[in-house]
Amino acid sequence: MGDVRRFGDPTKLVGYLGLNPSTRQSGEGPAYHGRITKQGRGQARGMLVEAAWAAARSPGPLRAFFQRVAAKRGKPIAAVATARKLAMIIWHMLTKGEDYIWVRPALLARKFRSIELKAGLPPEHAKRGAAYDYNIPEKRAAERMRV
């Protein structure tokens, strides 16, 4: 895909991935909006749809969006719509250099620590860091309520 800044706006990235709905219109008549175009990188599109399914299982705004669309259109269509929204979020994060605002800090720290241990860093016994907060039900519930 290369440098994401080559796409002028997020809709260009969505079009590159083939996640934009097809539109047919002639003259002043009403426009027809159909299925996604699938013009573009199939592997990237598939990975985003899988990420959308994972986001639908995690608390946060993407889950709320998925549930809202799924109630009207069904889960497969909601997954593709969430993948499109996820691509737009990714474009904004990469071009502006920002972090994902809805990340859960304790869960992120726990995942980073797991990666560090797999990479060969020594375990730190009797030392509790930010990742330990994920094991405390009250803190985990408060974090989920924030999202």
pLDDT, tens digit, 9 for 90 and up, residues 75-112:
999 999 999 999 999 999 999 998 888 888 888 888 88
3-state secondary structure of 120: coil
- Please state the separation of Cα 17 from the chain's center in Å: 14
Note the pTM of the prediction, 2 decimals.
0.72
Strand partners, 99: none
